[in-house]
Amino acid sequence: MGIMERMRLDGKVSLVTGGARGIGKAIAEAIAEAGSHVAIVDIDIDEAKKTADEIAKNLDVQTIAIKTDVTNQEDVDKMIASILNKFGKLDVAFCNAGICMNIPAEEMTLDQFKKVIDINLTGVFLTSQAAAKVMLKQGKGSIINTASMSGHIVNVPQPQCSYNASKAGVIQLTKSMAIEFAKRNVRVNSISPGYIGTELTLNSPDLKPLIAKWNELAPLGRMGRPDELQAIAVYLAGDTSDFTTGSDFIIDGAFSCF
């Protein structure tokens, strides 16, 4: 069997949190194109249903849309139960849901700080923990967490201390869980995107003024595209990455190299 055949995800079942739009949607589309059935998990159920229906219509896979607050353990457990009820197993978990608040550190309230940490870090923990419990019983699985180049650098000019701290936490959480699960055949890796031109980012009135500055600093002179994260996602989801665990893949056009 050649490498392209071994890259296929036929018969696998995957979940993607924050899967309704942006990076999550691009990842969901990629793994579905590779043959995986997909659960689109998002707090915005209407948008999640649109994405799930679109994927099922265009590709020969089954999908389900599930409304989930990733900061709520009961919600996360119900989400896993819904996936198992429909598909009977879970092979891949993309823990992707996240938010960012650009607020100066001296002005950020405790509630604002906790909200970012709760969604970006605690949400990843709860989702990956729940997925791991299923995968450990199965004897195999792959967990992929969306971190960020912001877990490695401090972004400028926008102030985003809570986001940076949360993503650094995701990277270390990923490595810690990878070590714990390594001998039980459950892999845990993270993807650290740089600035990605999602529809939300490109159309945000708060972020649009910053894009020119980001592009000026970027070695490639531009933001990345969501589809430029798809290949690494498919690789980490599949069996060709069986020796890959505890790794963080920085996909940022060399932005964090200086």
**pLDDT band at 208, cuts 50/70/90?**
confident
Q: Are 237 and 189 in contact (CB under 8 A)?
A: no
pLDDT cut 70: percent of the chain above it: 100
Query: What single-letter DSSP state applies at residue 121?
Result: I
Q: Is the dihedral of CA 29, 35, 40, 46 positive or negative?
A: positive
Task: Indicate the pLDDT class of residue 176, thresholds 50, 70 and 90.
Answer: very high
pLDDT of 87-126, one tens digit each? 999 999 999 999 999 999 999 999 999 999 999 999 999 9
Per-residue pLDDT reduced to its tens digit, 13-52 = 999 999 999 999 999 999 999 999 999 999 999 999 999 9
CATH fold of 3-251, please?
Rossmann fold (3.40.50)
Active centre residues (catalytic): 148, 163, 167
Please list, in sequence order, all residues whose beta carbon lies within 8 angstroms of the beta carbon of residue 10, skipping any fewer than 6 positions away.
Answer: 34, 35, 36
Averaged pLDDT score across all residues of the chain: 96
**Residue closest to 18 by CA, chosen among 71, 59, 61:** 71
